[in-house]
Amino acid sequence: DTAVSQTPKYLVTQMGNDKSIKCEQNLGHDTMYWYKQDSKKFLKIMFSYNNKELIINETVPNRFSPKSPDKAHLNLHINSLELGDSAVYFCASSQAGGWIEKLFFGSGTQLSVL
Amino acid sequence: GQQLNQSPQSMFIQEGEDVSMNCTSSSIFNTWLWYKQDPGEGPVLLIALYKAGELTSNGRLTAQFGITRKDSFLNISASIPSDVGIYFCAGGYKNAGNNRKLIWGLGTSLAVNP
């Protein structure tokens, strides 16, 4: 079983559309994240949730809205997609406390906005 | 803001050679971590360091937490083709709100010629 699974793997869509990416982790972790990796491979944190509560919200357009129905799931909804949103989006999870920096990543969702 | 300088940006080596890469910062970190990203996958944790001066090995990989807490290096001995990928350093610290955060390096892309 995949520890952190996200779907879809690839997402190709038109500018202006709304899309969602789903993420689930079966590790029993308390904290989940969304990261964006640009074309230069730079990893930038977008959001962090701890037990369904938002704890980190970096400077991200409000077109991006994370939703955590329970601590095993963290979905990302993006409204009015723009060309600059094209990137690879990674979901990750970690245990709270001393292990919080030990992140387990999903395999990524490659988003292409045309 | 805090930044990590990771070098080299890329390396092309022959199979069997040793590899060394490092991360430096003007800021102090409480933890240093090294991740590897294979093509089409999310980063995977290789080594986590929690104490200044700590030297830790994981198979052919060795990493050290710099004594000043501002740097870390990763060595790979006797490289093999499956070492190909992007290696990221990450530094962990607590912000003013006592939240633990990670700063990521820009990655070192490693290519191994068999």
* A92 interaction partners in chain B (CB closer than 8 Å): 42
Instruction: Please give the pLDDT value at position A54.
Output: 82
pLDDT of residue A51: 81
Distance of CA B25 to the CA centre of its chain: 13
Q: Are the C-beta atoms of A81 and A13 separated by less than 8 Å?
A: yes
Is A101 close to B90, i.e. CB distance below 8 A? Answer: yes
Dump pLDDT digits (tens) for B73-98. 999 999 999 999 999 999 998 888 77
Residue A98 in this model has a pLDDT that exceeds 80 = no
Q: Which amino acid is at B57?
A: S
Q: What per-residue confidence (pLDDT) applies to B3?
A: 73
Q: Find all residues with CB under 8 Å of B24, minimum gap 6, and list them.
A: B4, B5, B7, B70, B71
Burial of B90 from C-beta contacts in 10 A (0-12 / 13-18 / 19+): buried
Per-residue pLDDT tens for B9-68? 999 999 999 999 999 999 999 999 999 999 999 999 999 999 999 999 999 999 999 999
Distance between CA B2 and CA A43 in Å, rounded? Answer: 14
Structure tokens at B73: 């290096």
Q: Taking CA B99 as the corner, what is the angle to CA A100 and CA A35, rounded to the nearest 5 degrees?
A: 60
Confidence of residue B101 (pLDDT cuts 50, 70, 90): confident
Closest chain A C-alpha to B52 CA, distance in angstroms:
16
The confidence score (pLDDT) of residue A17 equals 97
Which residues does residue B75 pair with via DSSP β-bridges, in sequence order?
B20, B62
The neighbouring-strand residues paired with B9 are none
- Structure confidence at residue A101 (pLDDT): 80
- Give the pLDDT band (50/70/90) at residue A1: low
Pick the residue from chain A with its C-alpha nearest to B47.
Answer: A102
User: Is B1's pLDDT higher than 60?
Assistant: no
Tell me the two tokens of residue A104.
């387990």
Contact with chain B for residue A59, Cβ under 8 A: no
pLDDT at residue A100, as a whole number: 67
Cα separation, B114 vs B112, in Å, equals 6
User: Is some CB atom of chain A closer than 8 A to the CB atom of B86?
Assistant: yes
Question: For residue B43, what is the nearest residue in chain A, using CA coordinates?
Answer: A105
Could you write out the three-class secondary structure of chain A? CCCEEEECCEEEECCCCCEEEEEEECCCCCEEEEEEECCCCCEEEEEEEECCEEEEECCCCCCEEEEEEECCEEEEEECCCCHHHCEEEEEEEECCHHHCCCCEECCCEEEEEC
The mean pLDDT value for A5-32 works out to 96
